Chains A and B, each alone.
Chain A
Amino acid sequence: MAGQSDPHLSIFSPSEVEFVAEDEIVEIVPNIRMEALNMICGDFGPFFPQIASKVPLWLAVALKKRGKCTIRTPDWMTIERESPKEFQPLPFHYIEISKLLFDHARDDISDAYLVRSLIEDIRDVRFHKVETGLETISGRTHAVKLKNLSAMEVNIVRPFMRDLRRSLVSSRLGKNWYLLTVNL
C-alpha cells in the first residue's frame, strides 16, 4: 500500500521511531581502551576499561554486539524492592529503548524477565488510559493535551486523530470549545 508514489506522508514508521530513539544517551562500561570518537553526531569517549562513559544507544548496541562493553540499565528499568525513594519518569522513547536493550543487552539487565513483564503492564495501562481519554473527544474539542505521551504512543494515536479531522470538519458548529487533557 505504501508505495513510493503514494507515501503516508506524515507517518513515522516504527523503524523510523526506533532510529530516533537510538540517539538517546545511555551509559556503558567498556572493557577495551579506545580513542575518543569525533563523530558527526557528537564527540564521545575516550574509553577506558571499567570506566563508565555516556554514548548514544546505537553506539552502545554496536559495541555490545562485539562484546566490547556492558550497558548500564537506566534507572527507570530497574526494580525497587524497598519502598520507592523517588518517582522515575518514563523517557519519551521508553518502548523503543527497552526493546533495544532486551534484544541486545538482556544479560546486562537484572531481573530481565520481571522488568519486561512490568514494562508490558505499564504499556497496557497507558494505552488504556489514552483510549478512554480520547473517547471523550467531541465536536467541540479544539485541542488535546496528552501529558507525557511517548513516541510510540503518538504513532498509535495519530491515525485516529487524522480521521477525526474528517469527521469534525462537518460538525464545527458548537461555540464552547474546550481543551481535552489526558494525563499519563
Chain B
Amino acid sequence: MSSWEDDDSAAAAAAAAAASTDVELLKRAWRNEKASPEILRFDSPLVSRVREQIQLLEETLDDFGESGVDDLVVSLYQMDLDRTLFLLRSYLRLRLQKIEKYMMHISKSEDLLSRLSQQEQRFAKSCTEMMEKHLEQSVLSKLPYGYDSVTRQSLSSTEDDMGIPFDLIIIPEPQLDTFVFCKTKSDVGAFQLDDIGEEVVDLVADDLYVLRYKSIKGLVESGQIDLI
C-alpha cells in the first residue's frame, strides 16, 4: 500500500470515528460485508472495541441486578446489549459463511488471506485441509492419474474432443462483476468505471447507484462509498 493511500484511509477513519459510534461503524462493516460478493478486510481494532463495550455492559448489568436498579432501566440496557450482540454475531457468522464458501480461493491468495483475522485464518486453513482430505479419500484417490487434482479438472489436456476447455478451474470464486447497490457519503465526482475511460459516472453525495462491484471495489475499501 502506498503512503498516500495510508494517509487517505487514516483520514477517512478519523473522520468516521469522530462522526459515529463503534456500533454504527460495525453496522457499516456488517452491511458492506453482506452486500459485497467477496470477503472484505477484518477490522480487528473495531471488533475488539465493540467486544470491550459488550463486556463492560454485561458487568454493569450484573451490578444492576445486585443493587436493585429499576427493572425498566435494566431491560432497556439489556435490549441495547442484545442488539449489539446480534450485530457482532451476525457479522462474524457472515464472514465464516463466506470463508467456508470461498475457502480454496482465499487460501490461494496472500492478499485475501491477509484480510482475515487470525482466528479466521486458522478456520480457513483447517476447513480447506478437511475438505481436501475428504475429497481425496472419497473421490480423487479413485480417479486415474491426471484427473486427481482438487483444483483442476485435468492436468494434461487443455481441450476435449468438442473443443471445450478441460482445464477448468473448479474452485468456487466470488462473482466480482455482480451489480451492487451503493451510496456515496460525499461527492466523489466523475468516476471511471472501467480501465479505458469509456464508462464514467458522476457520483453525487447521498445518491443511490447500482454498479458492478469490481468497478467500485477501491471506493468500498477506502470507505468512500457504502454498500447497501
C-alpha spacing A66/B31, complex, angstroms? 31
B211 and A39 within 8 A (CB): no
Q: Given A59-B76, A146-B210, A40 and B81 touching (CB < 8 A)?
A: yes
B48 within 8 A of A: no
B86 in contact (CB, < 8 A): yes
Q: What does DSSP make chain B's interface, helix, strand, loop or mixed?
A: helix
Residue of B nearest to A68 (CB): B72
Say yes or no for B177: interface residue by CB 8 A criterion.
Answer: yes
B210 lies within 8 A of A165 (CB): no
Contact residues of A between 138 and 174, Cβ < 8 Å to B: 142-149, 151, 154, 157-158, 161-162, 164-165, 169
What size tier do the contact residues of chain B reach? 35 or more
- The answer to whether B177 touches A10 (Cβ under 8 A) is no
User: How distant is the Cα of A22 from the Cα of B179 in the complex, in angstroms?
Assistant: 27
Whether A145 pairs with B207 at a CB distance below 8 angstroms is: yes
B97, B194, B199, B212: the one within 8 Å of A7 (CB): B97
Interface residues of B in 169-228 (CB under 8 A from A): 175, 177-181, 193-194, 198-199, 201, 207-212, 228
A143 in contact with B76 (CB, 8 Å) = no
Q: How large is the interface on A (under 10, 10 to 19, 20 to 34, 35 or more residues)?
A: 35 or more
Say yes or no: A37-B77 contact (C-beta < 8 A), given A9-B98, A143-B210: yes
**Chain B positions 49-106 with a Cβ under 8 Å from a chain A Cβ:** 50, 53-54, 57, 70, 72-73, 75-77, 79-81, 83-84, 86, 90, 94, 97-98, 100-101
User: Across the interface, which residues of B come within 8 angstroms of A158, CB to CB?
Assistant: 181
Stretch at the interface among B10-18, B33-41, B158-166: B33-41
| Contact of B27 (CB < 8 Å), options: A20, A37, A162 | A20
Q: Which residues of A contact B150 (CB under 8 A)?
A: none
Given A62-B79, A177-B199, residue A147 in contact with residue B193 (CB < 8 A)? no
Determine whether B23 belongs to the interface, using a CB cutoff of 8 Å to chain A: yes
- 12 other A-B residue contacts (CB within 8 Å) besides A62-B75, A157-B181: A7-B97, A9-B98, A12-B34, A39-B76, A39-B77, A39-B80, A40-B57, A41-B84, A143-B193, A143-B199, A145-B210, A169-B177
